[in-house]
Amino acid sequence: MHARDWFMERRGATGAIAASPSPARRQQAFPACALESLEQVTKFCGHQSQKWRAPAAVRNTELQHLLDNDLFCVSSHRRDSRLTPTQQFHLIGILCDYFNERSAEPRGHQYSYFEVIFCGREGEALLHDVRIALLMNLCSLAVQYPCYSLLNHVSQWLHKHRFLMPLADEVPEFVSYFVAYSVTEVTIRSSLIEVLAHWLTSTQSSRIIAFIKETPTITKYFATNTFWLLVLYDCTSGCGQRSPLHGVTTMLYAEWAKTPPLNIKPALEALISEDQETKFEPIVLYYHLHFARLSNCLSRKELAELLPRIHLGDNYQTLLESLR
């Protein structure tokens, strides 16, 4: 059963749980309290829409207290949620719907909702941990639900916060999803690459890569949509062979399963276009072409068709000709 269908069946069936009352409101039960708190987030951010000052909402004490009590249902000792596992699963569905319903709004507005909901207790360890624990579960479901916009928000949050790099040591499977799904033409910047390179060269790198290769849906997405963007960045970043990401990407050619093959053709087409041709580093591109051919990610025919369009210099061109 599709995740969305499951949630539709569960709506209204979840047992009630008393929500901690706010001073000026009548006490509500879950899930009504969660839905109401999300409405308040939307209204508060809407009042800031002319200048869109999300930090004002993040710092708003009353709003954050409301989210603690009525959305995350924090327990009296402030260490975990009062919700049962089934109710937490219901809450994840509510949040997926909330972000999906706003996916047509400007990207900055969407991220502001995310920031208010999940980043409003940074610096308060116990309360922040409750929110991040739910966010981890939410991200795991977002791919299947689907709620792809949430992954964009998380990737933006991740590459703004270097202190999140230790995630690889704690939740390597969780990190695997982000390595695959956070890289887009919009998000691939040096700050995100720094986080990815740290993860993929850490002590947990083998587990992260193994999970990507052994999980069919992630394998297919990474091979088709993510890898070529990493290759494109590697060839144009100016870091050359010094980049940790260069070592990771070239290593993957040798370790990757044959099906589905790593797709680098979109990167090559971008590199030989008029806009990019003068910007790539020949030696880096040579290594990618060399390993792609040896691993059969590029066929002889494909390489033969590409070579006349790529100007690498005589030395590299001659070496590649020998692989045809």
The average confidence (pLDDT) of the chain is 81
What amino acid is encoded at 295 in this protein? S
Question: Which of 89, 92, 93, 114 shows the shortest CA–CA distance to 103?
Answer: 114
Per-residue confidence (pLDDT) for residue 226, from 0 to 100 = 94
Q: How many domains does the chain have?
A: 2
| Cα distance between residue 12 and residue 6, in whole Å | 12
Residues 20 and 120 in one domain: yes
Residue at which a domain ends, from 160, 187, 212 = 160
**Pair 125, 189 in one domain:** no
What's the mean pLDDT in 138-166? 79
Position with higher pLDDT, 54 vs 106: 106
- The reported pLDDT for the residue numbered 63 is 92
**Based on the domain organization, do 175 and 153 belong to the same domain?**
no
On the question of pLDDT at 56 being above 70, the answer is no
Asked if residue 90 has pLDDT above 90, the reply is yes
* Average pLDDT value for residue range 311-324: 66
Which residue type occupies 283?
A: I
Model confidence at 14, pLDDT cuts 50, 70, 90, reads very low
Query: Same domain for 95 and 221?
Result: no
Residue 185 burial (C-beta neighbours within 10 Å; 0-12, 13-18, 19+): exposed
- Give the structural domain span for 282: 166-324
Higher pLDDT, 58 or 213: 213
CB 308 within 8 A of CB 270: no
Tell me how far apart the alpha carbons of residues 127 and 123 are, in angstroms, rounded to a whole number: 9
pLDDT at position 242, please?
Answer: 75
pLDDT bracket for residue 317 (50, 70, 90): low
pTM: 0.56
| Together in a domain, 309 and 202 | yes
Last residue of a domain, one of 115, 138, 160: 160
Q: Which residues pair with 18 in a beta bridge?
A: 29
For the stretch 289-307, pLDDT in tens is 889 988 889 888 888 888 7
pLDDT tier, 97 (very low <50, low <70, confident <90, very high otherwise): very high
* Both tokens assigned to 261: 């093959």
Q: Which of 160, 191, 214 marks a domain boundary?
A: 160
Q: Choose the most confident range, by mean pLDDT, from 260-264, 272-276, 308-312.
A: 260-264
The pLDDT tens digits of the residues spanning 194-237 come to 888 888 888 888 999 999 998 888 999 999 999 999 999 998 88
Of 15-19, 40-44, 172-176, 273-277, least confident by mean pLDDT is: 15-19
pLDDT at 212 (0 to 100): 92
The alpha carbon of residue 255 and the mean position of all alpha carbons in its chain are separated, in whole angstroms, by: 23
Cβ(283)–Cβ(240) below 8 Å: yes
Checking if the pLDDT of 70 tops 90, the result is: yes
**Per-residue pLDDT at 277:** 47
**Residue that wins the pLDDT comparison between 23 and 71:** 71
Instruction: Give the whole-angstrom CA distance, residue 110 versus residue 78.
Output: 28
How many angstroms separate the first and last alpha carbons of the chain?
A: 47
Tell me what pLDDT residue 271 has: 84
For residues 214 and 81, membership in a common domain is answered with no
Residue 320 — pLDDT band, cuts 50, 70, 90? low
